[in-house]
Amino acid sequence: MTSFKSDFLNVLSERGFIHQCTDAEALDTLASAGPITGYIGYDATASSLHAGHLVQIMLLYWLQKTGNKPIVLMGGGTTKVGDPTFKDTQRPLLTDEQIQSNMNGIKSVFNSFLTFGDGATDALMVNNDDWLSGFGYIEFLRTFGTHFTINRMLTFDSVKLRLEREQPMTFLEFNYMLMQAVDFRELNSTYNCVLQMGGSDQWGNIVNGVELTRRLNQKAAFGLTTPLLTTASGAKMGKTVGGAVWLNADALSPYDYWQYWRNTEDADVGKFMRLFTDLPMDEIRRLEALQGAEINEAKKILADAATRLVHGEAAAATARDTAQKAFEQGVLSADLPTVEVARAELEAGIMLAALTTKIGLTQSNGEARRLAQGGGLRVNDTAITDGNQAVTLADLNADGVIKVAQGKKKIVLVKPV
RNA sequence: GGGGGAAUGUCCCGAGCGGCAAAGGGGGCGGACUGUAAAUCCGCUGCGUAAGCUUCGCAGGUUCGAGUCCUGCUUCCCCCA
């Protein structure tokens, strides 16, 4: 495993980050000789990144940890076009305002992982809109278009699959590849950036960038991708009850984030600890070897470590404590998600189904009733099978709240105000 | 420009004689079993307390009645030019 000379590639390799690399040996030599600069691009398609982006963020994290300079490329320009890679249909185009606001939401996450600044290995954040939007059409075509052949572009899986499935690909989307390649070349010229990383689906796009950079700048350039991540049972990573596992606290609370990792399948514990935490390898090897129920301890440590990286030490501790009280001691913690409901409404008595819908546990009264019928709704730990039953102030417990649970893991405290 | 085909349950795939709230999957959620795991088994998966209401690309029409037939439109695919 430890066949590399550079710390950077050794860490990536033993932790399982490497799927493909354009020239691992040469990159290794370069990285062992001194700090290198690498980047990853993020398009602003949502207001927060999610767990699916985490592997790539960790890549930047380790790049910096091992003494190199990471660049976070915000895709302000490329988002205007939309990445067609491995998508069946074109995404709706976002307005400039949406893109800007999404970028603002995304930026903050990186502060938890990287140290930004002007030093040699300090992280940098740039926006490709700064150079991409400035090009004139003909200028762009003459400068870069001449280096790409349609023949070649059509052979990339990302494009080929779309065509094979007889789905349309617009000329706009077709150009995404070029823009991403231009990014790499631009960063190489400006910051001497020699490495682009990304998920395995980005391989084609990355290779284009590597080639364009070599050709136009006559400099070494490398690409490296991470494996496509699925859970041991084959599900795609990053989905949970409420939707995606967002990294921003306002999109998904640290408690829910902690829970996501706590619920990891046994078979994934080791893999996830390698990829999503900075726990030392010795520790990981010890933890993943735990058998049976003991592996739950490992899952807690995984959840702690993963949450700490994103939300900080304090939030991780609180989440852990809250979960421990709720699941292991059966005690309520005031830190559980709490929703305030007008006291008058409870005084009058509110239908359980209406209540769960109001506090966001269910989407409609009908859904709530069906859930209740199946035994999936609990008020103060008692299953209520009739969704029409009224919830009133009489249901307040000693702490002055009503504990409403959907299933075993989604718990909300209702507080009268 | 000509010809042929496609669009189905606000997650996806996908059946659908003129009587359909619409087969079957997948996914998701809930229950049982467990260890807040996996596997397995069971249930639910348009809205409404209900009467009922609203769904099959869009707009009209035929019919007691249309996802299903007719007309126009939109979008997409394929073939010919």
In terms of Cα–Cα distance, which of A328, A326, A325, A304 is closest to A254? A304
Q: Which residues of A are annotated as a binding site?
A: 39, 176, 180, 239
What is the CA A173 to C1' B71 distance in angstroms?
37
Look at residue A237 in the predicted model and tell me its pLDDT.
63
The C-alpha atoms of residue A352 and residue A369 are separated, in whole angstroms, by 8
Asked whether residue A322, judged by its CB, lies under 7 Å from any atom of the DNA or RNA strand B, the reply is no
What is the CA A53 to C1' B69 distance in angstroms?
51
Look at residue A322 in the predicted model and tell me its pLDDT.
92
Asked whether residue A99, judged by its CB, lies under 7 Å from any atom of the DNA or RNA strand B, the reply is no
Among candidate residues A147, A214, A219, A239, the one labeled active-site is A239
**A91 has catalytic annotation:** yes
What is the CA A95 to C1' B4 distance in angstroms?
38
Look at residue A98 in the predicted model and tell me its pLDDT.
81
Q: In terms of C-beta density within 10 A (0-12 exposed, 13-18 middle, 19 or more buried), how is residue A165 classed?
A: exposed
Query: Which residue has 């902690």 as its token pair?
Result: A258
**A180 has catalytic annotation:** yes
> Which residue's CA shows the smallest distance to C1' of B26?
A235
Q: Which residues of A are annotated as a binding site for L-tyrosine?
A: 39, 176, 180
Q: Centre a 10 Å sphere on the Cβ of residue A392 and count the other Cβ atoms it contains.
A: 14
Asked whether residue A385, judged by its CB, lies under 7 Å from any atom of the DNA or RNA strand B, the reply is no
What is the CA A77 to C1' B33 distance in angstroms?
52
**Dihedral sign (CA A107, A111, A112, A117):** positive
- What residue type is A407 in one-letter code? G
Asked whether residue A365, judged by its CB, lies under 7 Å from any atom of the DNA or RNA strand B, the reply is yes
What is the CA A242 to C1' B11 distance in angstroms?
13
Q: C1' nearest to CA of A372: which nucleotide?
A: B30
Asked whether residue A34, judged by its CB, lies under 7 Å from any atom of the DNA or RNA strand B, the reply is no
What is the CA A39 to C1' B68 distance in angstroms?
55
Q: C1' nearest to CA of A323: which nucleotide?
A: B36
Asked whether residue A296, judged by its CB, lies under 7 Å from any atom of the DNA or RNA strand B, the reply is yes
Q: A239 φ, ψ to 5°? A: -110, 145
**A87 has catalytic annotation:** yes
Which residues face A5 on adjacent strands? none
Among candidate residues A5, A19, A20, A45, the one labeled active-site is A45
**A201 has catalytic annotation:** yes
Q: Residues of A from 225 to 264 whose C-beta is within 7 A of strand B: which are they? A: 232-233, 235, 239-241, 259, 262-264
What is the CA A175 to C1' B12 distance in angstroms?
28
Asked if residue A126 lies in contact with residue A187, where contact means CB atoms within 8 angstroms, the answer is: yes
Query: How would you write the pLDDT of chain A (417 residues) with one tens digit per residue?
Result: 458 999 999 999 999 999 999 999 999 999 999 999 999 999 887 788 888 788 899 999 999 999 999 999 999 999 888 777 766 666 666 778 888 888 998 999 999 999 999 999 999 999 999 999 999 999 999 999 999 988 888 888 777 766 666 566 777 878 888 999 999 999 999 999 999 999 888 888 999 999 999 999 999 999 999 887 766 666 666 555 456 678 888 878 899 899 989 988 888 899 999 999 999 999 999 999 998 889 999 999 999 999 999 999 999 999 999 999 888 887 777 888 888 999 998 998 899 999 999 988 888 999 999 999 988 999 998 999 998 999 999 999 888 899 999 988 888 899 998
Q: Residues of A from 77 to 96 whose C-beta is within 7 A of strand B: which are they? A: none
